[in-house]
């Protein structure tokens, strides 16, 4: 995933129905700071008088709630620390091992409370179904982001991306040369998928990659689901959600995951290698958005400004992820050239699913995954 992702795929998200908030029986709450803050409706820093004014408002709030951001996922541990140190804002990180759907569930369940998520980092399929929960906002670097990778109003913006890969412990299994190799006896009880593909973007991408490798498409993933059914039948599919601990202990010696996540494991386990099949180069970006009911609306918007700044983008790059502003930063000479050059080499033609393709694939997956794997 160390070559720039193709920019041709347009990931326009469709608006979903507004989630109703049933609070009629709840006791009256004290009006929150978010309810009285102009930041809650600001669509750019200019609406508040500029970036300095936004920073001042965010410092008054003093906190930011993030969710489902593992410290070793795209370097989020360092990103969170850098943001907190730079602005003196306490970052509350909830459910670091959660998935995209957990983020939406938390925002719905905690609506109106100070502990609700301020911001989201979502897989495309979950983001697509929940755009009514997002607040439009354009960061100062908004023009640097390719049109196909953002909503025109800033309701959602792609943030960082990568390629689906197969990570494996070279000390425990032979190096795979194709997705099909994983059906061989040498991989019995050793192949894991990062999460439930009906809820987690990384696992969903794994099924789409398997589909491509078996002659299917990212839209019609019948062959991808069948591959994992065959993998289970062969006794090779391991129903364990992989973590750094399971990888280091040897419990999950083969893992379908984004290349930047698999690459991060190599720093902890030198024998861990990353393989992107040339006939199944699946690329994808995650989606960044602000919770329209964010309890800390200024901090939420400042977080976005930080993430899309050169500093924030290079911190994602340091974690092995491809920042969405990479092209513009290369031209401006502001990209971390060493980190960019260190990205894993990828051969083949990248396929980046559109929103419509992923939606259709998700519908089939939801209806058939449990039957295939259960």
- State how far the Cα of 205 lies from the Cα of 59, in Å rounded to an integer: 38
Q: How confident is the model at residue 78 (pLDDT cuts 50, 70, 90)?
A: very high
At 355 the pLDDT is: 78
Q: What is the pLDDT of residue 7?
A: 27
What is the pLDDT averaged over residues 126-146?
96
Q: How far apart are alpha carbons 43 and 350 in whole angstroms?
A: 33
| pLDDT value for 80 | 98
Share of the chain above pLDDT 70, in %: 90
What lies within 8 Å, CB to CB, of 370 at 6+ separation is none
pLDDT of residue 293: 98
E strand or H helix that includes residue 254: strand 254-258
What are the residues whose beta carbons fall under 8 Å from the beta carbon of 17, sequence distance 6 or more?
Answer: 132
Stated pTM of the model: 0.78
Please, what is the angle between helix 310-318 and helix 297-307, to 10°?
A: 70
Q: What are phi and psi of 192, to 5 degrees?
A: -115, 155
List the domains of the chain with CATH numbers: 47-161+284-342 (3.40.190.10), 163-282+351-373 (3.40.190.10)
Cα gap 180→223, rounded to integer Å: 12
Compute the average pLDDT of residues 331-359: 90
Calculate mean pLDDT across residues 48-70.
98
DSSP state of 202: H
Locate 180 and state its tokens. Answer: 């099909």
What pLDDT is stored for residue 30 in this prediction? 40
**Mean model confidence pLDDT for the chain:** 89
Evaluate if residue 105 carries a pLDDT over 60.
yes
pLDDT at 209: 97
Say which range, 104-113, 193-202, 248-257, 287-296, has the weakest mean pLDDT: 193-202
- pLDDT attached to residue 21: 23
Q: Which of 180-194, 206-220, 318-332, 353-367 has the lowest mean pLDDT?
A: 353-367
Q: Which residue has the tokens 């040339």?
A: 278
Mean pLDDT of 204-211: 96
At residue 125, does pLDDT exceed 90? no
Identify the CA nearest to 365 among candidates 228, 242, 253: 228
Q: Once rounded to an integer, what is the mean pLDDT over residues 60-72?
A: 96
Instruction: For CA atoms 231, 235, 239, 244, give the dihedral sign.
Output: negative
Structure tokens at 317: 């790059």
**Pairwise CA distance, residues 115 & 12, whole Å:** 30
Structural element, H or E, at residue 275: strand 272-275
Percentage of the chain beyond pLDDT 90 is: 80
Task: Take residue 244 and report the two structure tokens written for it.
Answer: 């750094």
Lowest mean pLDDT among 18-22, 173-177, 206-210: 18-22
R_g over Cα of the chain: 20
Band (51; pLDDT cuts 50, 70, 90): very high
Q: Phi then psi for 97, rounded to 5 degrees? A: -100, 15
Rounded CA-CA distance 201/274 in Å is 19
């Amino acid at each position: 995933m160390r070559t720039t992702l193709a920019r041709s795929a347009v990931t326009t998200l469709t608006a979903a129905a507004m989630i109703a908030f049933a609070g009629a029986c709840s006791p009256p709450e004290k009006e929150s700071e978010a309810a009285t803050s102009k930041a809650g409706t600001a669509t750019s820093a200019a609406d508040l008088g500029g970036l300095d004014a936004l920073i001042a408002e965010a410092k008054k709030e003093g906190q930011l709630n993030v969710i489902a951001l593992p410290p070793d996922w795209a370097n989020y541990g360092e990103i969170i620390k850098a943001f907190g140190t730079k602005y003196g804002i306490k970052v509350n990180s909830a459910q670091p091992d959660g998935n995209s759907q957990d983020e939406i569930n938390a925002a719905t369940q905690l609506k109106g409370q100070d502990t609700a998520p301020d911001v989201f980092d979502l897989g495309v399929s979950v983001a697509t179904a929940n755009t009514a929960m997002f607040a439009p906002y354009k960061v100062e670097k908004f023009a640097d982001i390719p049109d196909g990778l953002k909503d025109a109003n800033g309701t959602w913006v792609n943030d960082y991306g990568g390629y689906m890969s197969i990570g494996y412990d070279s000390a425990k299994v032979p190096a795979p040369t194709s997705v099909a190799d994983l059906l061989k006896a040498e991989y019995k009880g050793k192949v894991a998928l990062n999460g439930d593909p009906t809820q987690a973007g990384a696992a969903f991408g794994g099924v789409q990659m398997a589909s491509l490798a078996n002659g299917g498409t990212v839209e019609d993933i019948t062959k991808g689901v069948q591959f994992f059914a065959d993998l289970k039948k062969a006794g090779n599919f391991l129903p364990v959600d992989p973590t750094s601990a399971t990888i280091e202990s040897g419990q999950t010696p083969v893992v379908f995951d984004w290349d930047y996540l698999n690459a991060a494991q190599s720093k902890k386990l030198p024998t861990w290698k990353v393989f992107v099949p040339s006939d199944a180069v699946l690329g994808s970006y995650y989606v960044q958005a602000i919770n329209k009911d964010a309890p800390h609306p200024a901090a939420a918007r400042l977080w976005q400004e930080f993430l899309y700044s050169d500093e924030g983008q290079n911190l994602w790059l340091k974690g092995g992820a491809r920042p969405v502003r990479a092209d513009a930063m290369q031209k401006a000479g502001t990209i971390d050239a060493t980190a960019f050059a260190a990205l894993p080499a990828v051969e083949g033609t990248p396929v980046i699913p559109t929103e419509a393709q992923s939606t259709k694939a998700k519908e089939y997956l939801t209806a058939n995954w449990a039957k295939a794997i259960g």
